[in-house]
Amino acid sequence: MDFFESEIFTYKNNELYCEDVPVTEIAEKIGTPVYIYGKIFFEDRYREFTDAFKEVKHTIFYASKSNFNLSVIKTFTDLGSGVDVNSEGELYRALKVGVNPKKIILTGVGKSANEIKLGLELDLLMIKAESEEEIYLINEIAASLGKVARVAIRVNPDVNAQTHPYISTGLAENKFGIDTEAAYTLYKKQNELKNIKFTGIDMHIGSQITKIEPFVEATTKLADLFLKLKAEGINLEHFDMGGGIGVRYENEKTFSVKKLAEAIMPILKKLDCEIFFEPGRYLTANGGILAAKVLYTKKNHDKNFIVTDTAMTDLLRPSIYRAYHHVQPVKLEIGRNNIIADIVGPVCESGDFLAKDREILSSNPGELLAVFSAGAYGMTMASNYNARRRAPEVLVSGNSFKVIRSRETFEHLLFDEKIE
């Protein structure tokens, strides 16, 4: 089998480390399953991103949906990032960290009236609207509060992001955004909407995009709309590229953010406005692993199974997307043979697996496995199915680590239930 290593997850004397801390040390002290993140990865990834676009005025808004742990959000905001929130809960988390409301943008295809009202009362930087009805509702709520809402329209450029259909968001068939023609008509109604100020044009064409061409195509299309509006006296303040840059889970041929900048910078410079970005997965995915313990190994006819204490409740992506996450032993035992096995969890579902028909070194009960690329969409998609407690999160910095979210207790699961 091939072994996955990164800048911060490396083997020393055949044992996996996160930065300068052995994964076994964390597992022994905290237990498994456990999410383990490397702070240096998050910081380096952010600096790489912002440096790539230094030639234009820009702001990065960390997409907290990828990993909404308070310490992770704070890691990015301490570096100067704003925060992209998709719900009242994510907004609550950003405020809890102490993020200035003027550095928060409220997104989401189905915002409730209460979420819109809260965004206006807090005077967030802007609300990203995704439908004509939502724009009229924002105008109505803003009028009732005596405010003028800063609004950007998410425009759907009808570009194929060439990614998994569940995470494609820029095609006409997807639920997100407003088509270019309808958006143009709405921008032209600026004078009719007395309690709305259109501040920008936004897009987000999908997630885990591994080719630059869709970004170039979408940027070109929306830049044409931006400049057309500008020529007609509608001066927008920002152009939002969204997120979606792909990362390596297996052997994807990804591109660097520097290469993306080189490709789209000539387009962005023509706009003469501030550029927004909303990366999430790109900043966090490969900065984390999920450490699991092998409970049993078994064989049904010619089929091998490795049963772990980590389940679809801890990492849902393989079950719903058939997404690939590299799985390998924390300790590389010399002389072990490779086998083909399903790596599964204890949840009572056939869909509870981390990997199917995967080549991996044979394992014994009690040994540890590392599930890579778990820094994004791990804990944020976790559940309590089968009354399982959600796993703790650990942040490593150099040769030390801190528990930034403890393992749930059974009291956590029952705190609001009553027996009548």
DSSP state of 347: S
Convert the pLDDT of each residue in 298-356 to its tens digit. 999 989 999 999 999 999 999 998 999 999 999 998 889 999 999 999 999 999 999 99
**What pLDDT is attached to residue 170?**
39
- Rounded to 5 degrees, φ, ψ at 298 are -150, 165
Fold (topology level) of 9-38+285-414: Lyase, Ornithine Decarboxylase; Chain A, domain 1 (2.40.37)
DSSP state of 46: H
* pLDDT band at 162; cut points 50, 70, 90: low
Residues above pLDDT 90, as percent of the chain: 87
* pLDDT band at 43; cut points 50, 70, 90: very high
Q: What is the mean pLDDT of residues 69-84?
A: 98
**What pLDDT is attached to residue 206?**
81
* pLDDT band at 3; cut points 50, 70, 90: confident
Report residue 132 as tokens. Answer: 């004509």
Predicted confidence (pLDDT) at residue 248 exceeds the cutoff of 70: yes
Amino acid at 361: L
Predicted confidence (pLDDT) at residue 165 exceeds the cutoff of 70: no
Alpha-carbon span 352 to 330, nearest angstrom:
22
- Rounded to 5 degrees, φ, ψ at 153 are -100, 130
Q: What is the mean pLDDT of residues 230-243?
A: 95
Among 172, 169, 267, CA closest to 226 = 267
Ranges of CATH 2.40.37.10 domains, the chain: 9-38+285-414
* pLDDT band at 5; cut points 50, 70, 90: confident
Mean predicted lDDT score pLDDT of the chain: 93
Question: Which residues, including other chains, have CB under 8 Å from residue 258's CB and lie 6 or more apart?
Answer: 48, 52
Alpha-carbon span 140 to 389, nearest angstrom:
42
What CATH code is assigned to 107-279?
Answer: 3.20.20.10
Predicted confidence (pLDDT) at residue 243 exceeds the cutoff of 50: yes
Q: Which residue has the higher pLDDT, 212 or 334?
A: 212
Sign of the Cα torsion 350, 365, 286, 35 reads positive
Question: Which residues, including other chains, have CB under 8 Å from residue 386's CB and lie 6 or more apart?
Answer: 311, 313, 346, 347, 348
**What pLDDT is attached to residue 157?**
85
Tell me the pTM.
0.94
Under DSSP, is residue 22 helix (H, G, I), strand (E, B) or coil? strand
Predicted confidence (pLDDT) at residue 6 exceeds the cutoff of 90: no
**What pLDDT is attached to residue 251?**
86
Q: What is the mean pLDDT of residues 136-147?
A: 98
**What pLDDT is attached to residue 413?**
93
Would strands 288-300 and 303-308 be described as parallel, antiparallel, or unpaired?
Answer: antiparallel
Alpha-carbon span 213 to 90, nearest angstrom:
31
**What pLDDT is attached to residue 2?**
66
Predicted confidence (pLDDT) at residue 175 exceeds the cutoff of 60: no
Half-sphere exposure of 271 (CA within 13 A, CB side): 31
**What pLDDT is attached to residue 164?**
42
- Rounded to 5 degrees, φ, ψ at 322 are 60, 30
Catalytic residues: 348
What DSSP string runs through 128-149? Answer: EE-SHHHHHHHHHHHHHHT--E
